[in-house]
Amino acid sequence: MIKVAVVGFGFMGITHTLNILRNPDLILKAIVDIKPDTIEKNLKSGIGNIATGNIDTSDLAEISKYSDLEECLRSEDLDAVSICTHVNLHYEMTKKALMNDKHVFLEKPFCLNIKQAEELVALAEKRKKILMIGHVVRFMPPYQQLKKWIDSQEFGKLKFLSLSRFCGLPSWGQWKEKNVKELSGGALFDLVIHDIDYANYLLGMPSEIKCNYLPGPYTNHDYVSAMWSYKKSTLHVKIEGGFTFHANFPFQASYMAQFEEASVLFTTLKGEIIQIADDKSVREVPAGDGNEGYFNEIAYFTKCIKNNSQPVECTSLSSLLAIQLCYKHIN
C-alpha cells in the first residue's frame, strides 16, 4: 500500500483525507496542520463552500498528527504527501517533500510565482518524482461528459462555450487571516482558475483574451469576465466568476455549450442532470456525481505511483500554464 500524509487540514485537506481513506491502495499515515489540536473541531464545523463528504473522528484516532512537515518527514515512512495548504505555502511545502523524495499531490493553484513553479517542475523531474496539481474539474463526471461530446462531435462541432463559477466571500478557516487574504491571489487564482484550466484542457491556448475584472476584498480581480477567441475559428469561450457575493451565498458552477445540432446546460444548482436542447425538444441525461471528481483525481495520482509513470492529466507543466493564463487575464 502507498503511504500518504495530508498537509493542511482545512476544507481541502478534509476532502482529500476522506478520499485517501476511501482508496484501498492508500494508507493514511499522518496529518500535518499548524494547529493539530483543531483537527477534530474542523471535522465537526463543516468548513468550506460545498459538501464533499464526512469523516468520523474515530477514523483518525490512530493517525499521527504533526504541526511541522519536516518533523513528519523525519518520523514517518511515507511514499507521498497531499499538500492542501493555502497557496502562499505551496512552494515551501512542495520543495520540502520533493527534496525528501516524496511524490506530491498539490492542491491548485500551483504557485503564484512563475519562477517558483518552474523550479518545482524541474526539481520533480530531477528527483524522478510525480508532481500532480489538483485541477479537479477535469475529473468531475459532468465535465468529463462535456469533453466526450466535444471530442466525439456527437452534436456536431462546438460553436460557443460559457463557463461560470461563483461563491460567497470565503470566510472559513484561515481565510479569515489577513496574510492569507493578501497572498491568496483572490478569486482569479483560487476560483476562476478552475475554468481557465478546463477551457485550455478542452480547446488549447486562445489566440486572444479580452477580460474585464473588478476589485474585491482580496485583490483587484475578485470578479472576472473574459472572452477567448481562436485564430482561423469562429469558436468563442466565455469565462466568468468570482468571490462576488456575501459569505453565505450558495456556491454555483455551470457550463452552457452550443454545438451545431444541440445546446447543453449543466449547473450545480441542479447537479444531477445535464439538459440537452435542440429546436424541437429538451431532454435530460444523468450528470453523475460531481464530488466523485475528488476521488477520481486521487485514484489517478495513485495509479501513476503504482505504475511508476508520470501523469498525463494535470501535469505540473499544464498547471504552470494555467497560472500563466491567469496572468494573461490581468496583464
The predicted model gives 134-139 an average pLDDT of 97
Cell for 268? 450545480
Average pLDDT, the chain: 92
The predicted model gives 293-316 an average pLDDT of 96
pLDDT above 70 coverage of the chain, percent: 93
Reported confidence tier of residue 181, pLDDT bands at 50, 70, 90? low
Q: What is the pLDDT of residues 53-68, one digit of tens each?
A: 678 888 888 899 999 9
- Residue 11: how many CA atoms within 13 Å on its side-chain side? 15
* First-to-final CA distance of the chain: 46
Q: What is the pLDDT of residues 67-115, one digit of tens each?
A: 999 999 999 999 999 999 989 999 999 999 999 999 999 999 999 999 9
Q: What is the pLDDT of residue 252?
A: 96
Q: What is the pLDDT of residues 250-291, one digit of tens each?
A: 999 999 999 999 999 999 999 999 999 999 999 999 999 999
Classify domain 141-290 by CATH architecture. Answer: 2-Layer Sandwich (3.30)
Q: What is the pLDDT of residue 173?
A: 62
Every domain of the chain with CATH number 3.40.50.720 lies at 2-136+294-298
The predicted model gives 161-167 an average pLDDT of 97
Contact 142, 296 (CB under 8 A): no
For residue 101, which amino acid is it?
Answer: D
Reported confidence tier of residue 48, pLDDT bands at 50, 70, 90? low
Every domain of the chain with CATH number 3.30.360.10 lies at 141-290
Cell for 155? 452534436
* Matching CATH number, 2-136+294-298, of 3.40.1280.10, 3.40.50.720, 3.90.1150.10, 3.40.190.10: 3.40.50.720
- Residue 282: how many CA atoms within 13 Å on its side-chain side? 7
pLDDT of 133 above 90: yes
For residue 2, which amino acid is it?
Answer: I
Q: What is the pLDDT of residue 185?
A: 85
Q: What is the pLDDT of residue 33?
A: 92
Residue 312's CB is within 10 A of a number of other CB atoms, namely 9
Q: What is the pLDDT of residue 147?
A: 98
